[in-house]
Amino acid sequence: MSTTQNQFHRDTERTTADVPRRAFVRKALRGYEVKRDETKATFTDWQKARNVAANIKYDGVNHLDRYLLEFEEKFTARGGKVFWASNSAQAREYVLQLARDRGVRSIIKSKAMTSEEIHLNDALESEGYQVVESDLGEFIQQLKHEPPYHFVFPCMHLKRDEISALFEKELGSAPTDSPEELTMIARGFMRRQYIDADMGISGGNFLVAETGMVSITENEGNARLTTGLPRIHVALVGIEKVLPKLSDLALFLPMLATAGTGQHMTCYNSMFGGARQPGETDGPEEFHVVLLDNHRTRLLADAEQRDALGCIRCGACLNVCPIFKNIGGHAYGTTYQGPIGSVITPHFRGLQDWKHLSGASSLCGACTDACPVKIDIHHHLLHNRRNAVDQKPVWWEKIVWFGYVQTMTRPWFLRIANKLAPLAQKLHPLVLGGIFDPVRNWTKTRDFPEVAEESFHDWWAKRKEQSK
């Protein structure tokens, strides 16, 4: 077993045992589900809308080269700078170099999973830059020195008293059990940061090819302040985020909000086309977009799973996933948690090291049902399992399945096994739950049904005999 897989087993053993935390997370996610269903019901035809959204993403991803070039041309024409980064190191170095060249002192950031992906904060901080996460959830996680728990709701696992204690320790604020007061503490702290920062770093939900714009969706207004006040704006965006047309957002903005949080529209949906233009009141002097590959082209090359690049990171699949609800976001050990994370992480970080995430699923398919762009998520988990075996079968599994094939292709052998099973089961209590129990992974927590004295096959044969 790989170290990542061992870690996963250890972590899930711990997190699944934390019953109160599981109940807390489940209740919150259930709330989003109820709200999502209410908002979905206001759509004239949600299923058709999903088809059209999937269709537009299919168009975007399958003509990615063309749309990226169109984006670059339009974006550059408005004075923006595009940097194409093959990997994390290149992307980090570009931002660092920019900060050095422009004499940047302090940096404010709005929520960007791409930045988590390339560990940008660590790189900036190690060179002495002050970096502040402005999204409330991300800010809390930054203070906690913990990665986001859920890529849309970073601190959804924390209770208010934990956040109050954290603020008390890190910011010296007075303890409170009011979420509103806690929010205002962060607001108060952040105000000055926006004004003092020289550089604002954001992610991007969509890249609009037609107009060369980056579209950012948020509720708090922190991204607007991060991109509006500092003199330099850098957006760190995955190459797969293209939408062909600006008007496509008329479909995607409501769908993203509905699928993710159950809102009709997220509070602020902003499209940024360049730095401050002549005749405009304010805005940054420079606008840079870092287009991040970081193995997205590896996923693109897998035609079967290419649709996973259409993901709009709404989080709907996490919200409905029984695995996520029970193991929690940190157990995944990945930047992108939940079902979509289990699909894409093996492509980004290596199949053999991350195949266990595709294995850790009952394949219930709730994710695929919830996906607004119809990514075939749970079937891709099956594909990852198959690809992992094709690439490198596990020797003992190979033996198990050899035995299985021998049994299942010889019905007489299966009949004998069925006849012996009741006897074996009578002896089972001798080893039950212990290390010699062959089915201890079942019997540790669940009873095993009694094997029937007469199988269906035998019953049928007897009946046939009697009716003769």
Partner 1 sequence: MRVTLFIPCFIDSLYPHVGVAMVKVLERLGHEVLYPEGQTCCGQPPFNSGYWDEARVVASRQLEFFKDAEVVVSASGSCGAMFKVFFPQLFEGRPEEAAAKSLSSRCFEFSDFLVNRLNVRDVGARFEGKVTFHDGCHGLRELGTKQEPRELLRAVKGLELVEMGENESCCGFGGMFAVKYPEISTAMAEVKCNSILDTGVEYVVSNDSSCLMQIQGWLDRNSPRTVKSLHLAEVLANR
Partner 2 sequence: MKGDRDKILARIREGLSVPAPLHHEMPARVGQTAQEPAFRAWLPAVGASVEEQLALFAKQSDLLRTEFVLCADPKAAAAHVASLAAAHDWKKVGFHPGLLTGALMPYLPEDLEQMCVEEGYDKLALEACDAGITECEFLVAQTGSVCVTARSSGGRALSVLPPHHLVIASRDQLVADLSSAYQGLNAKYGAALPSFISFISGPSRTGDIERILVLGAHGPKKLTVFVVG
Judged by the rule CB under 8 A, the positions of this chain that interact with partner 1 are 9, 12-13, 16-17, 22, 26, 322-323, 325-327, 359-366, 368-369, 382, 385-390, 393, 397-398, 401-402, 404-405, 407-409, 411, 414, 418, 421, 439, 441-442, 444-452, 454-461
In order of 329, 381, 383, the CA distances from 386 in angstroms are 25, 9, 5
CB of 303 to partner 2, least distance (A): 4
x/- track of binding to partner 2 for residues 47-86 (CB under 8 A): -xxxxx-xxx-xx-xxxxx--xx--------x---xxxxx
Phi, psi of 318 (to 5 degrees): -70, -40
**One-letter amino acid of 184:** M
Task: In whole angstroms, give the CA distance from residue 134 to residue 160.
Answer: 19
86 binds, among partner 2, partner 1, none (CB under 5 to 8 A by kind): partner 2
What minimum distance in Å lies between the beta carbon of 449 and partner 1? 5
Q: List, in order, residues 6 or more apart from 119 with CB less than 8 Å away.
A: 88, 92
The strand pairing partners of 242, in sequence order, are 207
Report, in Å, the least distance between residue 188 CB and partner 2.
Answer: 10
Minimum CB distance to partner 2 smaller for 4 or for 316: 316
- Give the separation between CA 52 and CA 435, rounded to whole angstroms: 53
Instruction: Kindly tell me which of 22 and 245 has the beta carbon lying closer to partner 1.
Output: 22
CA distance 403 to 398: 9
Q: Which does 169 bind (CB under 5 to 8 A by kind): partner 1, partner 2, none?
A: none
Shortest separation between residue 297's beta carbon and partner 1, angstroms: 24
Which residue among 304, 397, 450, 454 contacts partner 2 (CB under 8 A)? 304
Residue 272 interacts, among partner 2, partner 1, none and using kind-specific CB cut-offs from 5 to 8 Å, with: partner 2
57 binds, among partner 1, partner 2, none (CB under 5 to 8 A by kind): none
- Angstrom CA distances, 282 to 190, 203, 270, 354, stand at 20, 21, 15, 46
Residue 146 binds to partner 2 (criterion: CB under 8 A): no
Give the residue carrying structure tokens 């849309």: 152
Query: How many other C-beta atoms are found inside a 10 Å radius of the C-beta of residue 182?
Result: 20
Q: Point out which residues pair with 462 in neighbouring strands.
A: none
**Ordered alpha helix ranges (H), 41-85:** 46-62, 64-77
- How many Å apart are CA 216 and CA 455, to the nearest integer? 61
153 touches partner 2 (CB under 8 A): yes
Residues 214-253 interacting with partner 2 (rule: CB under 8 A): 219-222, 224-225, 227-229, 239, 245-251, 253
Q: Is 154 in the site for partner 2 (CB under 8 A)?
A: yes
Nearer to partner 2, 94 or 332 (CB): 94
Question: What is the closest distance, in whole angstroms, from the C-beta atom of residue 155 to partner 2 in the complex?
Answer: 6
If the CB atoms of residues 63 and 419 are measured against partner 1, the closer one turns out to be: 419
Taking alpha carbons only, the member of 49, 70, 89, 102 closest to residue 374 is: 49
Binders of partner 2 among residues 186 to 215 (CB under 8 A) are 186-187, 190-191, 194-195, 211, 213
Q: What is the DSSP string of 95-122?
A: HHHHHHHTT--EEEE---HHHHHTTHHH
Site string for partner 2, 348-387 (x = CB under 8 A): --------------------------xxx--x--------
